[in-house]
């Protein structure tokens, strides 16, 4: 079986970015080989703590992604409602003008119909409680008046709905801010802990991360076919992003979080899937057996479904794993995250 080969080298700008990111948040899934790192007051290893902080940050990132997706949807719905309100207001104004012209004509002819008097009052909505007055108006006037009142009522309902949507949007945007602060706090704490390590230990960790990237370039993926052309196309797009950095909340094309990579890759294949790993877990046909996965299927990881990647073949996952890491291939069995199930799209 042919071995996967390293993709083209990253540009100097991207390499510099990855180096800086790795220095701030190196991958810590590997176990220490010799001396123990500095312990914290709870006597846990620094690297284990940082690993946990990064896991918490990625979990918070998926919640952030969900809130952002909701905010984007609410923003679009609110704009559509506001546009509809503006159109309906124009229609109401036009009906008001028509009724005003009728009233003016009646006034010039020597009188004003009682129904139009109601319309021209300070509270035209009170007309709804006095609908019997329509009997005193001509058939045409009655139809226009009824249309006006119906449009007024519909306008009021649309305005109320738009107000509710704006309230939901404000609450969601506050949630976005809270998630962002949570993620940044986890990453700052991880960096603080990393700074307690010696320069030699930090260098060794960075070298281990580099070895993981080089191992990714030599991985053997086998030659199993994908379940569909779209899955194959999505996987091919994801493969083209190997070496790109993990950035929380990013969805390409130059940086990704885990669900950002999978949703971006499927978009390149002409398929829209949800943004978050939890939503992607229910986006297609569930595959419970790891052995039944085909290349291009989604791989759902962790008990809270907070991680996702592509099944790449031969027991490998192609994913954007965590802060400080790059998009790469890794053994599912050695990823340190429990496999939950697969999802076949299309």
Q: How many CA atoms lie within 13 A of 126 on its CB side?
A: 9
319 is an active site residue:
yes
Distance CA 113, CA 310 (A): 73
Cβ atoms 187, 57 nearer than 8 A:
yes
The token duo for 15 is 């390499």
Long-range (24+ apart) CB contacts under 8 A made by 249-255 are 249/61, 249/64, 249/65, 249/68, 249/183, 251/275, 254/14
Tally Cβ neighbours within 10 Å of residue 237: 19
Distance CA 96, CA 116 (A): 11
* Catalytic, out of 258, 279, 283, 337: 258
307 is an active site residue:
yes
Nearest in space to 264 (alpha carbons), one of 305, 319, 315, 224: 319
Cβ atoms 116, 103 nearer than 8 A:
yes
Residue for token pair 């039944």: 292
Tally Cβ neighbours within 10 Å of residue 36: 9
Convert 145-175 to b/e letters by CB count within 10 Å (16 or more is b).
beebbebbeebeebbeebeebeebbeebbeb
Distance CA 147, CA 157 (A): 15
Cβ atoms 311, 317 nearer than 8 A:
yes
258 is an active site residue:
yes
* Catalytic, out of 319, 322, 328, 344: 319
* Catalytic, out of 179, 307, 328, 344: 307
Tally Cβ neighbours within 10 Å of residue 229: 11
Helix (H) or strand (E) holding 285: strand 285-287
Active site residues: 258, 307, 319
């Amino acid at each position: 079986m042919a071995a996967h080969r390293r993709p083209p080298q990253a540009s100097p700008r991207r390499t510099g970015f990855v180096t800086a990111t790795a220095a701030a948040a190196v991958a810590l899934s590997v176990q220490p080989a010799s001396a123990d790192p500095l312990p914290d007051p709870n006597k846990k290893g620094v690297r284990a703590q940082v690993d946990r902080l990064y896991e918490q940050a990625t979990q918070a990132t998926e919640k952030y992604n969900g809130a952002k997706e909701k905010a984007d949807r609410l923003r679009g719905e609110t704009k559509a409602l506001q546009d509809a309100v503006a159109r309906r207001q124009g229609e109401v104004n036009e009906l008001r003008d028509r009724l005003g012209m009728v009233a003016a004509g009646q006034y010039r002819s020597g009188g004003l119909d009682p129904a139009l008097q109601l319309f021209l009052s300070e509270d035209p909505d009170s007309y709804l409680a006095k609908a019997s007055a329509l009997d005193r108006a001509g058939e045409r006037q009655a139809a226009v008046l009824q249309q006006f009142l119906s449009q007024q009522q519909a306008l009021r309902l649309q305005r109320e709905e738009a107000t509710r949507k704006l309230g939901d949007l404000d609450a969601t945007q506050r949630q976005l801010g809270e998630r962002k602060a949570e993620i940044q706090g986890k990453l700052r704490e991880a960096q603080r802990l990393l700074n307690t390590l010696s320069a030699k230990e930090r260098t060794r960790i960075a070298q281990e991360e580099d070895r993981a990237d080089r191992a990714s370039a030599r991985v053997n993926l086998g030659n199993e076919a994908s379940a569909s052309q779209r899955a194959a196309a999505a996987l091919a797009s994801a493969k083209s992003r190997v070496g790109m950095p993990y950035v929380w909340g990013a969805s390409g094309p130059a940086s990704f979080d885990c669900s950002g990579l999978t949703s971006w890759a499927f978009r390149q294949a002409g398929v829209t899937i949800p943004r978050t790993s939890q939503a992607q877990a229910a986006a297609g046909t569930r595959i419970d057996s790891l052995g039944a996965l085909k290349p291009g299927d989604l791989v759902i990881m962790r008990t809270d479904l907070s991680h996702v990647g592509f099944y790449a073949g031969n027991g490998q996952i192609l994913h954007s794993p965590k802060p400080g890491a790059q998009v790469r291939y890794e053994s599912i069995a050695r990823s340190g995250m429990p496999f939950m199930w697969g999802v076949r799209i299309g």
